[in-house]
Amino acid sequence: MTEDVRSNRTARLLVARLDAVARVATQLRHAEAERLVELASVATMRAVALELIRAERADEIWRDAHVRHPQLPHPTRLALPQRLAA
């Protein structure tokens, strides 16, 4: 699998996960919805750290998700790591 293919696949998975969270967010208590967003945020940070997706692309996906789904809770803002520490 090439780096571009892996990155595109990771991006599609992140978009799908955020769309799924947004669909159920209105049916959950706020704390539960926030927890799902937190888990998606951590998964995003790990994907960036493992260089599966670029931080700029991840930020763009999150912004687009909030445009498509205004009810999607915003994650606690954590700096996305550029690389995994050696």
Placement of tokens 């803002």 in the chain: 77
Q: Where are the domains of the chain?
A: 3-68
Q: Cα–Cα distance between 44 and 76 in angstroms, integer?
A: 13
Q: Which band of pLDDT confidence, cut at 50, 70 and 90, is reported for residue 81?
A: low
pTM, two decimals, is: 0.79
User: Could you tell me the CA-to-CA distances from 59 to 14, 25, 35, 41, 49 in Å, in that order?
Assistant: 11, 20, 19, 10, 14
Average pLDDT over residues 75-81: 60
